[in-house]
């Protein structure tokens, strides 16, 4: 089974498992720490808790003071990320409460942290985190932050698929040397950050996420006519219309939902299925990053501190 097929299986299978994830609240004062998809999961939790919880990258905490009124939750599917482990060790020495949110209960991260919250989902055989582990991390983070996640995954999954099918013909996959700017406000900024990771891994596309208004303060001046802009909006079509008047190639995705939790999960399922649909349309059978063996090795060496 190739990597695209395995992700399709994972995309469909996750619905039967997500509703089984159950965790007790740990604290109102959590700082989520993670990189890549794990950072996005923590950032989503920050937005949904109205910033009562926070999200940080481990690299930003390596030389920072810890806050003794906070519990630090380290998110890592593998539990092997070097920066997470180093920060968790420092936090423990400082007498700070630490929690590992991980699939691997025997990992270095799990052994370093004082408490383990196991990621209760079945991981498919992929080089990095799959679709289901990402969504499972979000559910887990929300629950330990005291947020009740309704059991509507079937409905959200179905709606996400519907939205992706409706949008498929409105988005264009950039070709080599063409850039893609991804714009979204508030919690949709976390979603465009997730899209940027998926576009790089699936298609080798350089996709830069921006908060919509911040984009207009400066990055907009670096746009070229050959660039693409995707906007994830909440009744913000006017921004798309204004950019189109500059003869830019703009795709607008309306994702407004008065229920922020529904908005998040529908949007994620939309993006996951859209990646699979684009891959099929363009004849991809493997994710592009797996074919870049030297780059993949360098990435893993740096993340896991094996610089031999």
**Mind listing the pLDDT tens digit for each residue in 155-175?**
999 999 999 999 999 999 998
Could you tell me the CA-to-CA distances from 90 to 34, 74, 83, 216, 305 in Å, in that order?
Answer: 15, 13, 11, 39, 17
Q: What average pLDDT score do residues 125-148 get?
A: 89
**Across 34-114, where does the E strand assignment appear?**
54-56, 71-75, 98-102
Closest C-alpha among 278, 252, 289, 126 to residue 134: 126
Domain segments of the chain as ranges: 3-149, 153-289
DSSP per residue, 218-243: TGGGG--TT-EEEEEESS-HHHHHHH
CATH among 3.40.50.1100, 3.40.50.10490, 1.10.3210.10, 3.40.50.2000 for 153-289: 3.40.50.10490
Averaged pLDDT for residues 52-66: 94
| Cα dihedral 20, 24, 28, 32 in deg (nearest 10) | -60
CATH superfamily placement of domain 3-149: Glucose-6-phosphate isomerase like protein; domain 1 (3.40.50.10490)
What local confidence, expressed as pLDDT, does residue 308 receive?
A: 43
Q: Indicate the SS3 state at residue 246.
A: coil
> Which pLDDT does position 129 carry in this prediction?
64
What pLDDT is recorded for position 306?
61
The CA distance from 38 to 75, in Å, is: 6
User: What's the pLDDT score for residue 126?
Assistant: 55
Residue 85 banded pLDDT, cuts 50, 70, 90: very high
Percent of the chain with pLDDT over 70: 97
Mean pLDDT of the chain: 93
Average pLDDT over residues 181-189: 97
Measure the N-to-C terminal CA separation of the chain; round to a whole number of Å: 31
pLDDT at 196 > cutoff 90: yes
When mean pLDDT is compared across 121-125, 195-199, 257-261, the lowest value belongs to 121-125
- 3-149 matches 153-289 in fold: yes
pTM of the predicted model as reported, rounded to 2 decimal places: 0.95
- Of residues 247 and 22, which shows the higher confidence score? 22
Handedness of CA 135, 138, 140, 146 (dihedral sign): negative
Q: Is the pLDDT of residue 21 over 80?
A: yes
pLDDT at residue 307 in the model: 43
């Amino acid at each position: 089974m190739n990597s695209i097929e395995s992700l399709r299986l994972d995309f469909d299978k996750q619905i039967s498992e997500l509703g089984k994830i159950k965790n007790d609240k740990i604290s109102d004062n959590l700082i989520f720490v993670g990189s890549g998809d794990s950072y996005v999961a923590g950032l989503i939790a920050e937005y949904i808790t109205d910033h009562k919880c926070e999200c940080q990258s481990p690299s930003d905490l390596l030389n920072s003071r810890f806050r003794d009124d906070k519990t630090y939750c380290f998110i890592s599917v593998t539990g092997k990320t070097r920066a997470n482990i180093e920060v968790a060790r420092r936090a423990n020495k400082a007498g700070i409460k630490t929690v590992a949110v991980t699939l691997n209960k025997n990992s270095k991260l799990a052994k370093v942290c004082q408490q383990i919250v196991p990621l209760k989902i079945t991981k498919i055989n992929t080089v990095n985190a799959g679709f289901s582990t990402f969504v499972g991390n979000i559910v887990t983070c929300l629950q330990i932050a005291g947020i009740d996640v309704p059991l509507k995954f079937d409905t959200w999954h179905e709606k996400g698929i519907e939205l992706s099918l409706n949008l498929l013909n409105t988005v264009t996959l950039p070709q080599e040397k063409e850039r893609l700017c991804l714009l979204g406000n508030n919690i949709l900024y976390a979603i465009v950050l997730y899209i940027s990771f998926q576009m790089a891994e699936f298609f080798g596309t350089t996709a830069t996420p921006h908060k919509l208004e911040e984009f207009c303060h400066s990055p907009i001046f670096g746009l070229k006519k050959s660039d693409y802009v995707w906007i994830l909006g909440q009744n913000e079509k006017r921004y798309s219309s204004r950019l189109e008047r500059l003869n830019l190639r703009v795709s607008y995705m309306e994702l407004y939902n008065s229920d922020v939790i529904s908005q998040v999960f529908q949007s994620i399922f939309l993006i996951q299925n859209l990646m699979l649909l684009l891959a099929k349309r363009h004849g991809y059978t493997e994710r592009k990053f797996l074919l870049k063996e030297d780059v993949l090795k360098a990435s893993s060496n740096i993340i896991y501190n094996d610089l031999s």
